[in-house]
Structure 1
Amino acid sequence: MKKPLVGTLLALLLLGAGAAPAAAQTVQQARPAVRAVDFAGTVALSNCSGSVVRTPGSQPADPALVLSNGHCLESGFPAPGQVLVDKPSSRTFGLLNSAGTKVATLRASKIAYATMTDTDASLYQLTSTYAQIKSGYGIDALELSATRPVQGTAIKVVSGYWKRIYSCAVDGFAYRLKEGAWTWKDSVRYTSACKTIGGTSGSPVIDTATGKVVAVNNTGNEDGARCTDNNPCEVDESGNVTVRRGINYGQQTYGFVACIGAGSKLDLSRPGCALPKP
């Protein structure tokens, strides 16, 4: 997992915190960008990155949601097989504007959902509504895409923790991604240009053509080790293992759309909802 403050500050000293982001992908003329990708709507957690997100059906008066990783929880990593639903939380998040400047502190009312089983994701419900965030700070939530991303999609990984944007593309998908005790399904593999670091965990992965969130950044193979902590490996349908040193990954988020109903209520029994259940 891309944990912050574990070798990250040293890495920045060695590599340069102000290093230029990777070259942006060529914009496809057939799919013009709907909006520029910037920091608006992203958040900084105490130990990770995240973003204020909504579904296509979200209403202005609904409580806002923040997306991050399951391994970014204030209580520590969920155990394999553990799924948390509707757990009280008063965690705070630093809301960023388009320039990456903190404009507000948002507060959670609960952890609506979190797990590291099959995926690595957390959803916090806030005490603020989408309308309150928009009227108070002029910032819209990022929309979760309802469809699975495809290979070759140009993406940006936007870290609120480091205020850095990484540009690359979807290189492909890992049938299973295994890291230590945890296994994730159908993970997004980035091309090598997205050299994400500790603290970028939980960053939204944004399709640059639609401006929608297609995944949440979560890990990468740091040392070339095989299936260990901080060194995930890919496992195919036949059980063959592939190690890709220096390659980073995210977990798809389209599956959340079917599970979130009116009032930002997460309902794991909704038709089409396939998220892991407690």
Structure 2
Amino acid sequence: MRKPLVVALCALAFAGAGVTPAVASAPSPTGADTATGAAPATSLTDAVNDTVGAAVDALSGLTAPNAGAVDFAGTVSLSNCSGSVVRMPDSAADDPALVLTNGHCLESGFPAPGQVLVDRASSRSFGLLNSSGSRVATLRADRLLYGTMTDTDAAVYRLGTTYARIKSAYGIDPLTLSDTRPAAGTAISVVSGYWKRIYNCSVDGFAYRMKEGDWTWKDSVRYTSACNTIGGTSGSPVVDSATGQVVAVNNTGNEDGERCTVNNPCEVDENGQVTVRQGINYAQQTYLFPACFGVDNRLELSASGCAVPKP
């Protein structure tokens, strides 16, 4: 699972007190979003996080974003992961906006095998990025609509604002979730809001089952080796380079060549044969989610065609 490594930045001062954050493990989103109705930084913690976020932006600016049609607009940074503002194919402009990330990125910790979290209160904050990767606002959730690490590794938050208000204030559109399964050979970009880095590669194939520690995922996307994602890229949208639509959510990679352990997932085929691919990284497909969301972006797990894991 692609949670970030701990990297110390530098001592920052706020309100006369020295603060030394471990930035790579917890760079909080920054920017008051008064225009969209999301809560601005009003506490000491939020103000310090804003200062830390600015420092992270400055560091990230030392490396220019990768060139190409896919950019950072609509992606977000979390305290521990990456994510993106997404819409379903039928979402309306005045619907409450949604954020997609990994189930293992939840603020409450990893869901247990078999556990599916639905409609929970949340005040999670997200740093909204523009096309160049600059942080332009803090968006804030009001609900965790869905989160699990069973069969897939995904979480969907509902924001306290709409797509239209985000567009009006910042000129940023959401990314659209494709409702079609991607094909092997598809050119893709993994866009990390946490690191402000874009990885470009192709879908190498699919793992019938993938096991990592206590968790098992189905039909996982395997990247070609060029997408050498690192800790902090968890939750990044995997974007079809041709259509610009999200086809998966980045979640893990085999770091040490170990067999089926945490941070070392293994592939298991239909016959139970286990394959370990050290240095190869993976994502979970997202084409099943559009069938599970209805009018006003309401989660409807009982809807016809909704095949995601249920509580």
Alignment partner, residue 32 of structure 1: none
Alignment partner, residue 122 of structure 2: 89
SS at match of 2:173: coil
- Determine what percentage of the aligned residue pairs are the same residue: 75
2: CA distance between counterparts of 1:54 and 1:119?
A: 19
2: CA distance between counterparts of 1:204 and 1:138?
A: 20
2: CA distance between counterparts of 1:196 and 1:260?
A: 30
Alignment partner, residue 59 of structure 1: 92
Distance 1:236 1:20, change over 3 A: farther
**1:174-196 alpha-carbon deviations (Å, 9 max, x no partner):** 00000000000000000000000
Alignment partner, residue 75 of structure 1: 108
Distance 1:8 1:226, change over 3 A: farther
Alignment partner, residue 157 of structure 2: 124
1: CA distance between counterparts of 2:205 and 2:67?
A: 19
SS at match of 1:255: coil
How much has 1:260 moved relative to structure 2? 0.6
2: CA distance between counterparts of 1:122 and 1:221?
A: 22
Alignment partner, residue 55 of structure 2: none
Greater RCO structure (CA 8 Å; 6+ sep): 1
1: CA distance between counterparts of 2:188 and 2:63?
A: 19
Distance 1:81 1:100, change over 3 A: same
Question: Contact conserved, 2:66 with 2:197, CA < 8 A, in 1?
Answer: no
How much has 1:19 moved relative to structure 2? 7.3
Work out whether 1:155 is the aligned partner of 2:188: yes
1: CA distance between counterparts of 2:161 and 2:172?
A: 13
1: CA distance between counterparts of 2:8 and 2:188?
A: 23
How much has 1:7 moved relative to structure 2? 7.5
Matched ranges for 1:202-241 at <5 A: 202-241=235-274
The one-letter amino acid of 1:177's match is M
**Unmatched 5+ stretches in structure 2:** 10-23, 25-59
Question: Contact conserved, 1:22 with 1:194, CA < 8 A, in 2?
Answer: no
How much has 1:21 moved relative to structure 2? 8.2
Distance 1:216 1:92, change over 3 A: same
Alignment partner, residue 200 of structure 1: 233
Question: Contact conserved, 2:209 with 2:267, CA < 8 A, in 1?
Answer: yes
2: CA distance between counterparts of 1:183 and 1:213?
A: 22
Distance 1:21 1:257, change over 3 A: same
How much has 1:20 moved relative to structure 2? 8.3
Alignment partner, residue 2 of structure 1: 2
How much has 1:224 moved relative to structure 2? 0.2
Larger Rg: 2
Shift >6 Å, 4+ stretches:
17-24
Work out whether 1:189 is the aligned partner of 2:219: no
SS at match of 2:289: helix
**1:59-117 alpha-carbon deviations (Å, 9 max, x no partner):** 01100000000000000000000000000000100000000001110000010000000
RMSD: 2.0
How much has 1:5 moved relative to structure 2? 2.5
How much has 1:203 moved relative to structure 2? 0.2
Distance 1:181 1:64, change over 3 A: same
2: CA distance between counterparts of 1:163 and 1:88?
A: 28
Work out whether 1:273 is the aligned partner of 2:302: no
How much has 1:138 moved relative to structure 2? 0.4
**Unmatched 5+ stretches in structure 1:** 25-35
**1:175-223 alpha-carbon deviations (Å, 9 max, x no partner):** 0000000000000000000000000000000000000000000000000
- Tell me the TM-score normalized by structure 1: 0.91
Question: Contact conserved, 2:190 with 2:198, CA < 8 A, in 1?
Answer: yes
Distance 1:277 1:22, change over 3 A: same
- Tell me the TM-score normalized by structure 2: 0.81
Question: Contact conserved, 1:158 with 1:166, CA < 8 A, in 2?
Answer: yes
Question: Contact conserved, 1:21 with 1:166, CA < 8 A, in 2?
Answer: no
**1:240-265 alpha-carbon deviations (Å, 9 max, x no partner):** 00000000000000000100111110
Matched ranges for 1:241-256 at <5 A: 241-256=274-289
2: CA distance between counterparts of 1:170 and 1:207?
A: 10
2: CA distance between counterparts of 1:41 and 1:177?
A: 29
Question: Contact conserved, 1:8 with 1:197, CA < 8 A, in 2?
Answer: no
